[in-house]
Amino acid sequence: MTPTLETPMESLKANEPAWLAQRRAAGLEQFKSLPMPTARDEAWRFASVGKLEIDDYNPAEAPAEATLDALSERSNLVTERAGRMVYVDDVPADFECIHHELTEKGVIYLPIAEAIEQHPELLERYFLKESTELGSKKFFGLHAASAKAGSLLYVPRGVEIDAPFVNYYWTSGSRSAVFPHTLIIAEENTKVSVVDVLFSETDQNEALNVSVSNIHAGPNAHVFRKVVQDWNHRTVSFQLDTTVAERDAQVKNVAVNIGASRARYESQTRIDGPGADVKMYSLTVAEENQEFDQRTHQTHNAPNSVSDLLYKNALLSNARTIFSGLIQVAEGAQGTDAYQTNRNLLLDPTAEANALPGLEILANDVRCSHGATTGNVDEAELFYMMQRGIPRRVALQLMVFGFFEEVIDKIDSDELADNLRKLIHRKFDSRLKSF
């Protein structure tokens, strides 16, 4: 293990409040003491843990000013926004603060380091409090010890904001380790949306990402979070996301997964209040030797709540995907509606999709379903499309986009949806030429 990752940066320790220093120390301890996952761990079943290596990454050095400017310039997936933050190797590159109208209403949108200084009581309550139950506690510990980049978004009671807040996290340096953190606290009767974007500067720069996002959706809060992961193929990535939903909260998570060599995505939803409704959508484009390892929890601790999960993966060449999902319904959570669907489209016989759907139900009055399907390209559909004069490669591309459309449709922003289609197109175009 690299000593640099194990030693919290002096700058972090210096001005931080005691509670945070404790959390960081505990995180570091957790990282050091917990073993690396092995193939025998149920939470890592099917994952190529042997190839997981996190050594020799460094807390990144500060990138050049010109790099910060250039990447801020390239942070343009969403034009209409309520605020934007850009980090490069965890160093703040650009911060568009929010309109003073929002500030007057009590909305807080701040880089995490400033939030710690200015709103310690809020951060003490929420920052680094929700770990993961899905297998990556060790890496959450590393994140807790190291996280300095990220955003706090706090929306006080009754405030509704239409335009999204957009956070860009770039990697740039050589073998840099980044630890982006997104903290969303939406109080009662609020409406807010956030887009997190994970990008690499070039196709070449190797990186390790351990990012965490925590959503706290208060009573009747409407929270919509999208995360776009398009790291280069030399990035090892962990995304550890949690959602806590209170009474009548409505939360929608959309994950778009395109990049990284190995991408572990843990997404857990805990419904603590009755009437909450949480959606979890994901689309993944897997190619070459990529591995996407996705683990989810939908936990219902309160009655009459809904959760709906749809994860769709399209796989090419030697790519692998793993979907392991669990619906947990607690004893008192009567009237739960919980659905879980994983669909895999194999474009090459060498690709491999693994699915482990699961249910754990302790209440008797529930509607739950789970299902996973894996299928090849439908030759009859392909013939139909080609009969119209569409070449095989383009027909496959249309089919894949059609397959994803169900998820892209949930994005609710034409601009972002179009930009995502372009990212996917770029990835597919070169690969599909060989068909």
Nearest approach in angstroms of CB 391 to another protein is 5
Residue closer to another protein, measured from CB, 330 or 394? 394
User: In the range 153-192, which residues lie near another protein by CB under 8 A?
Assistant: none
Q: How far is the CB of 395 from another protein (least distance, A)?
A: 8
Backbone φ and ψ for 124, nearest 5 degrees, come out as: -60, -35
Which of 188, 191, 127 lies closest to 164, judged by CA? 191
Side by side, which strands form the sheet with 91-96? 91-96, 83-88, 165-171, 191-200, 222-230, 250-257, 277-286, 306-315, 336-346, 366-376
**CB within 8 Å of 299: residues ≥ 6 apart:** 268, 269, 270, 271, 328, 330
Measured from the CB atom, the residue of 68 and 399 that comes closer to another protein is 399
Contact 177, 169 (CB under 8 A): no
- What is the nearest approach in angstroms of another protein to the Cβ of residue 310? 13
- Our CB check for another protein shows the closer of 147 and 399 to be 399
CB 414 → another protein: shortest distance, Å? 13
Distance CA 213, CA 221 (A): 17
Binding-site size, another protein (CB under 8 A): 22
Work out whether 19 is an interface residue with another protein (CB under 8 A): no
Q: Compare residues 165 and 404 and give the one whose CB is closer to another protein.
A: 404
Instruction: Identify the DSSP state of 173.
Output: S
Q: Which is nearer to another protein, 94 or 405 (CB)?
A: 405
Given the complex with another protein, which of 13 and 422 has the nearer CB atom? 422
Looking at residue 81, its amino acid is R
Site for another protein in 207-246 (CB under 8 A): none
Shortest Cβ 390–another protein spacing (Å): 5
160 DSSP assignment: B
Write the single-letter amino acid at 166.
V
With contact defined as beta carbons under 8 Å apart, do 188 and 158 qualify? yes
Considering only residues 363-422, where is the footprint of another protein by CB under 8 A? 378, 380-381, 383-392, 394, 398-399, 401-406
Smallest gap from residue 418 Cβ to another protein (A): 13
In whole angstroms, how far apart are CA 135 and each of 55, 221, 260, 295, 352? 19, 29, 19, 9, 22
Min separation Cβ 420 and another protein, Å: 14
Q: Which is nearer to another protein, 56 or 378 (CB)?
A: 378
Rounded to an integer, what distance in angstroms lies between the CA atom of residue 428 and that of residue 140?
32
Query: Which spans of this chain sit near another protein (rule: CB under 8 A)?
Result: 378, 380-381, 383-392, 394, 398-399, 401-406
